[in-house]
């Protein structure tokens, strides 16, 4: 019956509720005339209640809290609610909330709990909490009014520094029983405090309210003294940072608050450590000095520390701030009043401020983020794949870009990696290396057109000092060395130019492109600020840079960047050398972007302040750039040399690289927005004696071919690498690529039978006048070529001996020893002794020394003199009176040989000797390759042009013969064989390795 009666009552209540509902705005049903109000007035907490003491059904419904009745969004009531009860009991505050506290920034939305600590000292007493202007924002404050009136300027303030997200608040340890008295415990629930206050007001036992700021009664809260028998156990729910009182003339708190909030934001989202730490130190540095510690004599409510010990701390949901003066609070038996005395102002120059200033550099540097290359590039998923990117540089070509002012620049923008711009347009450098001095001039256009047709937009080239200034003051910029013609031809093709003028260029050239005459003075130090070396550079740059200046971008030319020296970080003997070259270029009118290239691990030593640092690499991975980031993190990346192959040396295997690996790396460059230069796009040939050498286990000369396993072969033919990169560029370039130039045809000519020969001993009379010296002179110090010595070729030393014995000589690089015309043996790297047989009369000792190429890299370039170095001894007795012949084998020498009576070739002939034959090229000469089976070691000359060195130890088996060096009909071919001749000279249309 009770259950039925209860159901009837609920049914009647719902009927009354439906009658009192009406259609509100938007079609929603709302309660009319019976809306819920907060329980803030009336004897029972109901607004409008008369207090008659008679409870009818209406009173019952009005007394109900929460939502009364159904909710009608439309014509049907809502069902299935989730209802949470927030009773705000101490158990909820003490145990549950600490696990979910979050940081508070700026203006959080919605109802929320705000956590702080109230420090009450060792003797808690009554006080009031001022909720004036409290709003849900991260820098809000609550005030605790002390019993006595205190001026606002002397009120210490504690500001909130919230915990980081996901970090639980630390728990404190229960107080030690020996410590007494226990600190005051503030009720955890503000609602309970307000209810207690209302009950005391109803009983008439509450103390009079202070006259303060006239706050509403609901926001004036007492803090009661907890019973002594209750255990004290508190949780710390936040970390507090002190903002001490402000002396006159210092910054106001309104300015310090944003500084502290900004420091937290920066600490978390931007620099995370360094700048955030700096801003946290700003308040004391800007004149806000912490108050000195208070003594017990200064007041029973004195503050003890920033984070109080367990026995002196208690968590609360409010900050504390001493506001303006308040009226005294009446003493009540159940309450304790807090009397707080503020400490005197401390001087600005406090010991804390001094410590802040002193330790700031160390703390900031310790918090600085570690250098990680992945932080500078987005290696992950937000970069587009190469086939998802598109570039349109059709308007950024030398012929179309007429209005020029800024050239190639570097820029950086928030949220992305630094990048290059050309005339303000974003630009990636797709470069390829072609050395004009290694390619016959008639083929320059062909090689540049193929570079453009592949998708590249820039050509890079070295400038060899030793070829352009073969003698002091005599410069050669003609024919195959016409630098200006090559650069202007790049303009016609539509390519930009990055010029690499040295003075040192490496490039696997003899002495790295430096003139060998610089080795004449033993005191001269190459690649340093040594006076003689700098003087030679100055004279060379005066002539060279004067030709380069009009070719610069801002002068209407195609040169967008100029390199300063080359890979100096791997040499690094003089830290003043690179800055000197930098200024030397600027003083002579170079205004375009300057750069330095270095191997990845040497970039820290080779870069110059104010000059773009670039790197050279063979394989690309995330570690390739870590050294570059240490010296330059705010500039775009340029891989100045991406080695798609490698050079070959005599006696080693031919070097090749996989085409797919090259394509993969270039794809990664493009994906990451990295500019690059392919070294080599087309290598060409080390015609003549220009090749350099290496010295790892022993001296090894670089082979004649500079094929480099590049995108184009030595003869300019397409390779698999070329087509793979072209296919890649097609997907990313908006405009179609130019048509591919037709391959240059190759042919096979009839074999050549050299029927005439001339022994070296018979040809000596057609050489230049020999040098007579009491001691052997090295090649560089021979008094020939207007005092410039001999750079390349061979040197023959003759002297007379009258006995046999042990001959000792330091010959570089390889020497053949003859007694009259009979070969005795070879002196080479590591072998400096040879036995001379007993003789009955005086004989002619001949030593033929060949320069196989000076080292082009490392510190050893300083000691690359060639020929005989030092004295020659026989049985430890120095030999004297030498006749020295210079065999530079220049074209003038072969012109003189045309008037010589050659001898018929014998069935079995030994060298050294010159062999003469005729190559019949027909009416239309074309490119071909020479192969010399059965021949041992020597050089080939076509119509006076030195094709280079051949050697049967490999890996190179053919010599490239450009059709441009042939003439229709008969062509003179001369072979200088040092040991043993072969039967024929054959031609082929394909190179062999």
Give pLDDT tens digits for 548-599.
Answer: 999 999 999 999 999 999 999 999 999 999 999 999 999 999 999 999 999 9
* Any domain includes 739: no
The answer, yes or no, to whether residue 809 has pLDDT greater than 70, is yes
- For CA atoms 534, 537, 542, 547, give the dihedral sign: negative
C-beta of residue 565 within 8 angstroms of C-beta of residue 596:
yes
Interval 457-469 mean pLDDT: 98
C-beta of residue 162 within 8 angstroms of C-beta of residue 112:
no
Tokens of 106: 């700026």
Specify the number of domains making up the chain.
5
Residue 623: which pLDDT band, with cuts at 50, 70 and 90? confident
* Any domain includes 74: no
Q: What stretches of 82-216 adopt beta strand conformation (E)?
A: 116-117, 128-130, 143-145, 157-161
Give pLDDT, residue 182: 45
* Any domain includes 287: no
Task: Give the whole-angstrom CA distance, residue 707 versus residue 715.
Answer: 8
Give pLDDT, residue 196: 53
SS3 (DSSP) at 411: strand
Residues 642-678: pLDDT tens digits? 999 999 999 999 999 999 999 999 999 999 999 999 9
The CATH number assigned to the domain holding 793 equals 2.60.120.260
In this structure, the number of other CB atoms found within 10 A of the CB of residue 26 comes to 7
| 868 in the same domain as 899 | no
Task: Give the whole-angstrom CA distance, residue 553 versus residue 613.
Answer: 20
| 788 in the same domain as 702 | no
Collect all residues with Cβ–Cβ distance below 8 Å to 535 and sequence separation of at least 6: none
Interval 412-430 mean pLDDT: 93
Residue 360: which pLDDT band, with cuts at 50, 70 and 90? low
Collect all residues with Cβ–Cβ distance below 8 Å to 105 and sequence separation of at least 6: 138, 261, 264, 265
- Please say which residue of 880, 901, 933 terminates a domain: 880
The answer, yes or no, to whether residue 981 has pLDDT greater than 50, is yes
Residue 441: which pLDDT band, with cuts at 50, 70 and 90? very high
> Per-residue b/e over 613-636, b at no fewer than 16 CB within 10 Å?
bbbbbbebeeebbebbbeebeebb
- The DSSP string of 341-398 is -PPPPPPSS-HHHHHHHHHHHHHHHHHSPPP-GGGTS--STTSPPGGG--B--TT-ST
* Any domain includes 68: no
Tokens of 181: 């008295």
In degrees, rounded to 5, the angle at the alpha carbon of residue 341 between the alpha carbons of residues 340 and 347 is 140
Sheet with strand 986-988: strands edge to edge: 958-961, 928-931, 986-988
Catalytic pick among 312, 508, 567, 957: 567
In this structure, the number of other CB atoms found within 10 A of the CB of residue 15 comes to 10
Pick 358 or 254 by higher pLDDT: 358
Average pLDDT, the chain: 77
| 833 in the same domain as 897 | no
Residue 281: which pLDDT band, with cuts at 50, 70 and 90? low
Residue 415: which pLDDT band, with cuts at 50, 70 and 90? confident
- For CA atoms 246, 252, 257, 263, give the dihedral sign: negative
567 a catalytic residue = yes
* Any domain includes 740: no
Of 466, 512, 437, nearest in space to 855 by CA = 512
Interval 144-159 mean pLDDT: 39
Interval 745-759 mean pLDDT: 95
Residue 359: which pLDDT band, with cuts at 50, 70 and 90? low
Lowest mean pLDDT among 476-490, 617-631, 898-912, 955-969: 898-912
Task: Give the whole-angstrom CA distance, residue 773 versus residue 886.
Answer: 13
- Please say which residue of 880, 901, 923 terminates a domain: 880
The CATH number assigned to the domain holding 562 equals 3.20.20.80
The answer, yes or no, to whether residue 289 has pLDDT greater than 50, is no
Give pLDDT, residue 204: 53
Pick 59 or 429 by higher pLDDT: 429
| 456 in the same domain as 539 | yes
Give pLDDT, residue 353: 60
Give pLDDT, residue 361: 57
Instruction: List phi, psi (to 5°) of 568.
Output: -75, -20
Residues 852-889: pLDDT tens digits? 999 999 889 999 999 999 999 999 999 999 999 999 99
Interval 116-143 mean pLDDT: 59
Look up residue 634 and give its DSSP letter: S
Interval 371-379 mean pLDDT: 45
* Any domain includes 231: yes
The answer, yes or no, to whether residue 725 has pLDDT greater than 90, is yes
* Any domain includes 202: yes
Helix ranges, 611-685 (H): 626-631, 659-671
Of 210, 436, 178, 199, nearest in space to 323 by CA = 210
The answer, yes or no, to whether residue 891 has pLDDT greater than 60, is yes
Of 559, 465, 564, nearest in space to 511 by CA = 465
| 145 in the same domain as 171 | yes
Task: Give the whole-angstrom CA distance, residue 575 versus residue 572.
Answer: 7
- For CA atoms 44, 50, 56, 61, give the dihedral sign: negative
Interval 278-286 mean pLDDT: 51
- For CA atoms 946, 952, 953, 957, give the dihedral sign: positive
Give pLDDT, residue 241: 35
Look up residue 855 and give its DSSP letter: B
In this structure, the dihedral spanned by the alpha carbons of residues 365, 368, 372 and 373, taken in order and rounded to 10 degrees, is -90
Collect all residues with Cβ–Cβ distance below 8 Å to 913 and sequence separation of at least 6: 757, 758, 759, 760, 976, 977, 981
| 869 in the same domain as 977 | no
Give pLDDT, residue 249: 42
| 337 in the same domain as 310 | yes
Range of the domain at 420: 386-690+697-732
Pick 15 or 525 by higher pLDDT: 525
Task: Give the whole-angstrom CA distance, residue 978 versus residue 745.
Answer: 33
Interval 445-467 mean pLDDT: 98
The answer, yes or no, to whether residue 489 has pLDDT greater than 50, is yes
303 a catalytic residue = no
Exposed/middle/buried for residue 440 (C-beta within 10 Å: 0-12, 13-18, 19+): buried
Interval 451-462 mean pLDDT: 98
Residue 131: which pLDDT band, with cuts at 50, 70 and 90? low
Of 187, 455, 197, 227, nearest in space to 315 by CA = 187
C-beta of residue 668 within 8 angstroms of C-beta of residue 620:
yes
* Any domain includes 353: no
Residue 45: which pLDDT band, with cuts at 50, 70 and 90? very low
| 469 in the same domain as 515 | yes
Q: What percent of the chain has pLDDT over 70?
A: 64
| 753 in the same domain as 722 | no
Lowest mean pLDDT among 267-271, 320-324, 353-357, 585-589: 320-324
Give pLDDT, residue 293: 43
| 894 in the same domain as 876 | no
Helix ranges, 205-249 (H): none
| 784 in the same domain as 707 | no
Give counts: helices (H), strands (E), the chain: 19, 43
Task: Give the whole-angstrom CA distance, residue 88 versus residue 98.
Answer: 14
| Residue 539 host element (H or E) | helix 531-548
Give pLDDT, residue 24: 42
- Please say which residue of 63, 79, 103 terminates a domain: 63
Give pLDDT, residue 75: 65
Task: Give the whole-angstrom CA distance, residue 243 versus residue 260.
Answer: 10
The answer, yes or no, to whether residue 205 has pLDDT greater than 60, is no
Give pLDDT, residue 176: 43
In this structure, the number of other CB atoms found within 10 A of the CB of residue 797 comes to 26
| 917 in the same domain as 876 | no
Catalytic pick among 182, 303, 641, 780: 641
The answer, yes or no, to whether residue 130 has pLDDT greater than 70, is no
Task: Give the whole-angstrom CA distance, residue 786 versus residue 470.
Answer: 11
Interval 176-205 mean pLDDT: 48
Radius of gyration of the chain (CA): 46
């Amino acid at each position: 019956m009770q259950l039925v009666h209860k159901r009837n009552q609920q049914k009647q209540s719902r009927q009354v509720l439906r009658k009192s509902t009406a259609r509100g705005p938007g079609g929603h049903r709302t309660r009319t005339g019976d809306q819920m109000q907060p329980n803030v007035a009336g004897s029972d907490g109901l607004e409008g209640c008369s207090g008659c003491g008679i409870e009818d059904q209406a009173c019952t419904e009005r007394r109900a809290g929460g939502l009364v009745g159904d909710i009608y969004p439309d014509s049907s009531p809502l069902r299935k609610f989730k209802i949470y009860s927030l009773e705000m009991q101490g158990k909820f505050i003490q145990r549950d909330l600490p696990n979910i506290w979050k940081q508070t920034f700026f203006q959080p939305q919605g109802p929320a709990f705000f956590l702080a600590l109230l420090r009450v000292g060792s003797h808690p007493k009554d006080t009031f909490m001022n909720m004036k202007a409290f709003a849900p924002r991260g820098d809000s404050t609550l005030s605790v009014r002390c019993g006595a009136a205190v001026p606002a300027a002397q009120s210490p303030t504690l500001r909130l520094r919230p915990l980081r997200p996901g970090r639980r608040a630390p728990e404190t340890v229960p107080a030690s029983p020996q410590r007494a008295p226990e600190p005051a415990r503030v009720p955890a629930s503000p609602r309970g405090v307000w209810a207690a206050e209302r009950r005391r007001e109803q009983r008439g036992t509450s103390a009079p309210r202070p006259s303060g700021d006239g706050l509403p009664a609901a926001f004036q809260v007492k803090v009661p003294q907890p019973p002594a028998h209750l255990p004290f156990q508190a949780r710390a729910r936040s970390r507090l940072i002190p903002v001490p009182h402000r002396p006159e003339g210092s910054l106001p708190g309104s300015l310090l608050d944003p500084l502290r909030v900004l420091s937290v934001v920066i600490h978390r989202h931007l620099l995370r450590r360094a700048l955030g730490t700096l801003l946290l130190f700003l308040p004391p540095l800007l004149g806000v000095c912490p108050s000195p510690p208070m003594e017990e004599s200064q007041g029973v409510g004195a503050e003890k520390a920033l984070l109080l010990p367990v026995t002196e701390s208690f968590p609360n949901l409010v900050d504390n701030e001493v506001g303006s003066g308040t009226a005294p609070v009446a003493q009540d038996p159940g309450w304790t009043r807090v009397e707080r005395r503020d400490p005197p102002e401390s001087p600005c120059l406090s010991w804390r401020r001094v410590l802040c200033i002193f330790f700031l550099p160390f703390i900031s540097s310790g918090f600085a983020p570690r250098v990680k290359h992945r932080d500078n590039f987005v290696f992950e998923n937000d970069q587009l794949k190469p086939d998802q990117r598109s570039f349109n540089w059709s308007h950024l070509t030398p012929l179309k870009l007429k209005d020029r002012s800024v050239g190639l620049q570097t820029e950086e923008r928030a949220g992305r990696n630094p990048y290059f711009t050309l005339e303000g347009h974003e630009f990636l450098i797709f470069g390829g290396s072609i050395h004009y001095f290694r390619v016959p001039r008639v083929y320059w256009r062909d090689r540049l057109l193929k570079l453009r047709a592949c998708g590249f937009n820039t050509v890079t080239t070295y400038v060899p000092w030793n070829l352009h200034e073969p003698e002091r003051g005599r410069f050669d910029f003609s024919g195959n060395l016409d630098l200006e013609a090559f650069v202007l031809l790049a303009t016609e093709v539509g390519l930009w130019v990055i010029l690499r003028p040295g003075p040192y260029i490496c490039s696997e050239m003899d002495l790295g492109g430096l003139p060998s005459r610089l080795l004449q003075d033993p005191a001269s130090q190459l690649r340093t600020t040594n006076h003689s070396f700098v003087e030679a550079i100055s004279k060379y740059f005066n002539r060279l840079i004067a030709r380069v200046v009009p070719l610069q971008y801002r002068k209407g030319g195609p040169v967008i960047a100029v390199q300063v020296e080359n890979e100096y970080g791997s040499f690094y003997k003089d830290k003043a050398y690179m800055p000197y070259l930098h200024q030397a270029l600027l003083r002579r009118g170079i205004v375009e972007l300057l750069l330095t290239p270095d191997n990845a691990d040497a970039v820290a030593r080779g870069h110059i302040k104010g000059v773009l640092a670039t790197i050279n690499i063979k394989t690309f991975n995330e570690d390739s750039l870590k050294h570059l980031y240490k010296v330059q993190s705010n500039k775009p990346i340029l891989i100045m040399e991406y080695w798609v192959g490698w050079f070959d040396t005599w006696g080693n295997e031919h070097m090749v690289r996989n085409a797919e690996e090259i394509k993969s790396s270039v794809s990664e460059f493009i994906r990451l927005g990295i500019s690059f230069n392919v070294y080599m796009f087309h290598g060409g040939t080390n015609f003549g004696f220009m090749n350099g050498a290496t010295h790892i286990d022993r001296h090894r000369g670089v082979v004649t071919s500079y094929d480099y396993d590049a995108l184009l072969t030595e003869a300019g033919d397409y390779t698999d690498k070329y087509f793979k990169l072209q296919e890649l560029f097609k997907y990313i370039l908006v405009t179609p690529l130019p048509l591919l130039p037709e391959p240059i045809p190759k042919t096979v000519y009839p074999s050549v039978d050299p029927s005439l020969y001339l022994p070296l001993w018979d040809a000596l009379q057609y050489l230049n006048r020999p040098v007579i010296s009491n001691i052997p002179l090295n090649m560089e110090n021979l008094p020939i070529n207007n005092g410039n010595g001999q750079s390349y070729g061979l040197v023959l030393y003759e002297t007379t001996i009258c006995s046999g014995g042990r001959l000792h000589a330091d010959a570089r690089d390889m020497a053949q020893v003859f007694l009259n015309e009979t070969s005795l043996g070879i002196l080479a790297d590591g072998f400096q002794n040879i036995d001379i047989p007993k003789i009955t009369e005086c004989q002619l000792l001949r030593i033929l020394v060949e320069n196989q190429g000076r080292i082009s890299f490392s510190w050893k370039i300083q000691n690359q003199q060639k020929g005989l170095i030092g004295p020659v001894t026989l049985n430890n007795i120095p030999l004297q009176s030498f006749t020295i012949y210079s065999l530079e084998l220049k074209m003038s020498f072969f012109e003189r040989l045309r008037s010589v009576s050659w001898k018929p070739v014998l069935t079995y002939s030994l060298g050294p000797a010159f062999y003469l034959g005729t190559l019949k090229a027909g009416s239309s000469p074309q490119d071909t390759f020479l192969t010399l089976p059965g021949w041992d070691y020597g050089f080939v000359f076509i119509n006076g042009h030195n094709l280079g060195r051949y050697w049967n130890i490999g890996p190179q088996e053919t010599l490239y013969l450009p059709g441009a060096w042939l003439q229709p009909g008969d062509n003179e071919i001369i072979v200088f064989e040092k040991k043993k001749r072969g039967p024929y000279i054959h031609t082929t249309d394909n190179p062999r390795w």
